[in-house]
Amino acid sequence: MRKSFALIISLLFLVSVFGIISTMAFLIEYKVTATPDKVKVGELITVTTNFYTINDPVIIADGNIPKGDAILVSRPTLLGAESPNETYTWIYRATQAGTIKFDFTGEELGAIEGSRISNPVTITKASYPMNKFMNILGFGTEGA
């Protein structure tokens, strides 16, 4: 009788410990957003997250669509303790036409809920007024 009573008590203790741990687990829903969705070469792209990371995101291609490129202009600085409701911002300048996404999955940040890859950003070539004028005059073509 005592053994069965001790076994029941120990099982209840074990189950309650796992129950408390599962309710107290640290779970963040990660959000990564890149705006605007369409930019021209030379324009700025703003990448915002609700989590802080020391490493900058990796620029990846969007499937089979040609990959563009961007350079980092500024990154967030961590001034104090990280707040769960805080937004962190990276700013990039588009440098090459194509479509890109910003990928934060290279980091191990604990339990994952949501995606750590941004929405796609389409980068188009910038049109320069001088190019149109040069084409009218016949400059810049292979025959000239």
List the domain range (segments joined by +) for residue 38: 27-137
- Please report whether residue 19 resides in a domain: no
Q: Which pLDDT value is given to residue 37?
A: 95
Distance of CA 55 to the CA centre of its chain: 11
Q: β-strands 27-29, 111-113: how paired?
A: parallel
Q: What is the pLDDT of residue 115?
A: 72
Residue 2 is encoded by which pair of tokens? 């005592």
In a domain, 17, yes or no: no
Kindly give the confidence (pLDDT) of every residue in the chain, 144 residues in length, as a single tens digit, with 9 standing for 90 and above. Answer: 777 766 677 766 656 655 555 555 556 678 899 999 999 999 999 999 988 888 889 999 988 888 999 999 999 887 665 666 788 999 999 999 999 999 988 655 444 555 788 999 999 998 777 777 777 887 766 654
Q: Return the pLDDT at 144.
A: 45
Q: According to the model, what pLDDT value does residue 108 have? A: 53
Is 10 a domain residue?
Answer: no
pLDDT confidence of residue 5: 66
The count of domains in the chain is 1
Residue 16 belongs to a domain? no
Q: Does residue 2 belong to any structural domain of this protein?
A: no
Please check whether residue 81 lies inside any domain of the structure.
Answer: yes
Q: Is the peptide bond before 36 cis (omega within 30 degrees of 0)?
A: yes
CA R_g for the chain: 25
Does residue 6 lie within any of the structural domains?
no
pLDDT for 30 equals 82
Closest by Cα among 109, 121, 134 to 29 = 109
Contact 97, 124 (CB under 8 A): yes
**112 inside domain:** yes
Structure token pair of residue 131: 């190019």
CATH of the domain at 105: 2.60.40
C-beta neighbour count of 47 within 10 angstroms: 24
Report the C-alpha gap between 13 and 10 in whole angstroms. Answer: 5
Q: What pLDDT is attached to residue 95?
A: 95
